[in-house]
Structure 1
């Protein structure tokens, strides 16, 4: 409930200045607006009440005292409205190819007009087209040039205008790119009887199909001899191939293969034999350090 006050024993009227509408005269409500009310205290303090405030109630109001000459006082009613993010003009989740440009947009209503701030949900910095990294960016539009897989994730559009609560919208950026593979050790030595693990890293989105092949490009399945394992973390994949009890037939080339809808690639690891060192100690051929007496 909001109120403006005027003091006088004479008749008091309340008016809406911008529309020249008479709201109340003395203790009677004249307007047909059911949200308007008037009260007084000892005929000296007159209060205009506006309930269920709307933005349309914003404006100048006049308390007019019907004396000769007439006296009046005006007051401004400012109606504040918490922010609200609008569907129209606000980006939804996006799927883009790596290397393209992206423009995020966020539209919000409220009074006073809200300010817009962008953040990454993960807390990681945002790389602007200038190359500068920032934790947050301001403005209704945020551009990212030459999108890479590192930009993939959730972005938050936050609208605030000093009237609680602030509101936010979560926009997911999904970046598509073909598989790539890299291997830390492409040449691995092992001795017969060893238990050896080969490792291969890949990145791809959409998620890739990953498997190992042998010398004849046959797919290696899980068995007592071979244990292929795939560890996934978002678009990153670690492929492991464990070879139990390495034998002569296990030496050779192995391929890790990664495929998705955008392409495929592979990497090669060569397993070669290492001769097991001899356990016999060499005989000492030096002269005795002791002489007979």
Structure 2
């Protein structure tokens, strides 16, 4: 009996629910027993069940069935990937179903620390993760983990992207070389979204490798040598290394070179000056 409704009497089942059966058996002590079996249990089966014997003393025993359900992420209640501008507030939320109600924890996918409201933690507890002021260091993948003691736990990956203006740093502010040698310059660029990156001479002339002026005749041969070689090394989605090689340095190359990067958030540049080692010796 459940909620006053007779489910079975003896071996006779009165419910039309095909998941419920009753069978008669003997215990190890040789006593008679009637066993109620519920297949494919669901939440509707939760409740009190009573076994009653129609005897002079009207014996009965009460059972309570609790149905537990492992957690499941509810996409409608959970943030999708988020993109914000540096300095903006970030609010990530997570929702899951399950019985008992799930609890929530947040961590970064790479296990690095989470910086929120002056705190630095490996795990943040709660349905919401709040970052009052997004910095570029906050960018990355976050995992919302829902648990309720019923395995397995579940998680949702949320990618946080932070747009920020370029930051650029030259490997050196000045380089000293021998005339006739080649020199390599480099700058590290951090930015998102990906910026436009160029090398410029001090007078603002862009340096490319596609113009005829980028070639010259080497003094010791009759072959053309490419004067400037630019390169771009991808490090990750927000970092690049710009390179510039100046071949066969002569006096006309002794000037400042600027690495510049600009995107929708702003522009930045760094300057490197090439000097001749003869200048350091006071030779004109």
Bin the TM-score by the shorter chain: 0.7 to 0.9
The correspondence for 2:241, drawn from 238, 243, 265, is 238
CA RMSD of aligned residues (A): 1.7
Q: Per the alignment, in what secondary structure is the counterpart of residue 69 of structure 1?
A: coil
Q: Per the alignment, in what secondary structure is the counterpart of residue 278 of structure 2?
A: coil
Do structure 1's residue 170 and structure 2's residue 157 form an aligned pair? Answer: yes
Do structure 1's residue 121 and structure 2's residue 109 form an aligned pair? Answer: yes
Deviation at 1:173, TM superposition (A): 0.1
Do structure 1's residue 191 and structure 2's residue 178 form an aligned pair? Answer: yes
Aligned to 2:218: none
- Give the Cα separation in 1 of the matches to 2:125 and 2:85: 25
Q: Please say if residues 258 and 264 of structure 1, whose CA atoms lie closer than 8 Å, have aligned partners that are also in contact.
A: yes
Q: Please say if residues 171 and 185 of structure 2, whose CA atoms lie closer than 8 Å, have aligned partners that are also in contact.
A: no
- Give the Cα separation in 1 of the matches to 2:188 and 2:43: 58
Q: Please say if residues 198 and 242 of structure 1, whose CA atoms lie closer than 8 Å, have aligned partners that are also in contact.
A: yes
CA deviation profile, 1:163-192 (whole Å, cap 9, x unmatched): 221111100000001112223422222220
Do structure 1's residue 221 and structure 2's residue 208 form an aligned pair? Answer: yes
Q: Per the alignment, in what secondary structure is the counterpart of residue 137 of structure 2?
A: helix
CA deviation profile, 1:117-159 (whole Å, cap 9, x unmatched): 1111111111121x22111111111111211111100000111
Aligned to 2:189: 202
Do structure 1's residue 142 and structure 2's residue 126 form an aligned pair? Answer: no
Q: Please say if residues 103 and 144 of structure 1, whose CA atoms lie closer than 8 Å, have aligned partners that are also in contact.
A: yes
**TM-score, normalization: structure 1?**
0.84
- Give the Cα separation in 1 of the matches to 2:206 and 2:195: 16
Matched residue pairs, number?
A: 261
Q: Please say if residues 118 and 156 of structure 1, whose CA atoms lie closer than 8 Å, have aligned partners that are also in contact.
A: yes
Distance 1:84 1:277, change over 3 A: closer
- Larger displacement relative to structure 2 (139-148 or 260-269): 260-269
Deviation at 1:74, TM superposition (A): 0.4
Deviation at 1:277, TM superposition (A): 9.4
Aligned to 1:274: 277
Q: Please say if residues 103 and 126 of structure 2, whose CA atoms lie closer than 8 Å, have aligned partners that are also in contact.
A: yes
Q: Per the alignment, in what secondary structure is the counterpart of residue 56 of structure 1?
A: helix
- Give the Cα separation in 2 of the matches to 1:185 and 1:38: 84
Q: Of the two, which has the highest radius of gyration? A: 1
- In structure 1, stretches of 5+ residues that fail to align are 1-14, 279-293
